[in-house]
Amino acid sequence: MSTHHDFASILEGDEFDTLSFSKNLYERQPLKLSFKATNLNEAIEWQRKLRSQLLKLLGGFPRRKCELAPRVLERVNLSFRTPSGELVEYNRETIIFKSREGLSVYAYHLAPKGADMRLPCVVCLPGHGRGVDDIVGINPDGSLRETYGGYQMDFALQCLEHGYAALAVEQLGFGHRRDERSRKQSPETSSCQPAAGAALLFGETMLGWRVYDAIRSIDYLHTREDVDVNRIAIMGISGGGATALFTAAIDERIKVAVVSGYFNTFRDSIMSISHCIDNYIPGILRFAEMWDIAGLVAPRALFIESGTKDPIFPIDATLRSYEKLKRIYDVFNANEKLGIEVFEGEHQFYGKGAFEFLHRWL
C-alpha cells in the first residue's frame, strides 16, 4: 500500500512548483516592444509605441480632465532640525483637489519659509505604510517628529532641507484615502488590496489610478505661481517608487525622476516574490520588462537607489536591469542623466546620491 511519503520525491519536482512554472513561462514571452533600437530615430519611435501600449495596459485614463477645483484646508508655519542641527523653517499647506469625477487627492505643499521666487518642486510619493504623513514628519497622534524617521526617512522634508518645494501626495488606498473598514483599524492598515483588486475587475489597474493622480498633481502645480513648472521632479519609494517610475515614463513634463526601493525586473521581484496586488499590470510581460519602462524616461534624468539587503527587490536583479537600461540611455546619448546608488541597507530611503543628482539636473 502506497503512502503519501512514497510520493514526496515526485511531488518536489519542477512540474509541481508554481515559481518554476512562472519562470518557464517568462522565458517564452515575446516581449514584443522590448528595446532593440540602434539609433536615435528608432529609439524615439520605440518610445512612442511602448508608451501608447503602456497606457492601454494600465487601463487607460479618463478622456477628459475634470476641473481640479483645488482648496487649501490649512496653512501653518513649521520648522524642523536636520540631522546636522540646521533649523529649517517652512510653510505647509494641506490641499485637496479633484483627480477625476468622484475622486479627490489629499496632499501637502511644503515650501521653505521666505522663498521669494518660483521654486523647483518635487512630487513626493510614499510607499506602503501610514501614507503621506509618514514622509512629512507627522506622527500617528498628529505631533511632529523631531528627527527623520521610519523607513521613508521623511524624504519630503529632506527636499526642503535641500532647497526645493515639495508636493507630498497621498497615494490611493493609504492614510487619508482609505475605505471605512481600514480607517477603523490601525494607521498602517491600507485599503490597497481590495481597491487594487477592484481596479482589475474593471479592466484597469491601481498603478494606473495612482499614475493619473500624479499627473493631475503636476497639473495642480501648474496652477501655482510659486512653482517653477519647468523644474518639476518626482520621487518615491517602494510603491511610491513604482508610481514615480511609471508617471515619469508617461508624463514628459517631469524633468528628473528618483526611484527608491523599486527598480528591478518584473521576473525577479514582482513575479517571484509576494507583493501587494497594486504592483501587477496584466499582460505587461508580453510587451516589456521594467528596464524598458524606465527607458521611456530617456533622455530625461533618472536616478535609482537600492539597498543591498532589500528582501523584496533583490539587488542582483536591480544591477542586471540597470545594465539593460544603460544601453537605452546610450542610444539617446544621455548617459550622464542616468545614475544609481547601491547602499548598505534594507528596504528604505537613503537619499545621499539622490539629492546630489537632483542638484545637478533639477
**What are 281-299's pLDDT values in tens digits?**
999 999 999 999 999 999 9
Q: Domain with 84 in it: what CATH number? A: 3.40.50.1820
Nearest of 223, 265, 247 to residue 70 by alpha carbon: 223
CA distances from 250 to 253, 285, 301, 314, 324 (A): 9, 18, 14, 26, 20
pTM: 0.95
C-alpha cell at 145: 517628529
For residue 3, is it within any domain?
no
For residue 62, is it within any domain?
yes
- Structurally, the chain folds into a number of domains equal to 1
For residue 8, is it within any domain?
no
For residue 356, is it within any domain?
yes
Nearest of 227, 234, 238, 229 to residue 269 by alpha carbon: 238
Q: pLDDT category, 84, cuts 50, 70, 90?
A: very high
Q: What residues does 341 pair with on adjacent strands?
A: 305
Q: How many CB atoms lie within 10 A of CB 15?
A: 9
Distance CA 215, CA 251 (A): 7
Residue 152 has φ and ψ, to the nearest 5°, of -95, -10
Q: pLDDT category, 227, cuts 50, 70, 90?
A: very high
* Per-residue pLDDT tens digits for 109-148: 999 998 878 999 999 999 999 999 999 999 999 999 988 9
For residue 5, is it within any domain?
no
- Tell me the one-letter amino acid at 143: S
For residue 261, is it within any domain?
yes
Residue 87 DSSP one-character state:
E
Q: Is the pLDDT of residue 93 over 70?
A: yes
Distance CA 39, CA 126 (A): 37
Give the Cα-Cα-Cα angle 178, 153, 83 (nearest 5 degrees): 145
CA distances from 359 to 246, 320, 333, 352 (A): 22, 27, 21, 11
Residue 21 belongs to domain spanning: 14-361
Sign of CA dihedral 264, 267, 268, 269: positive
Q: Is the pLDDT of residue 7 over 90?
A: no
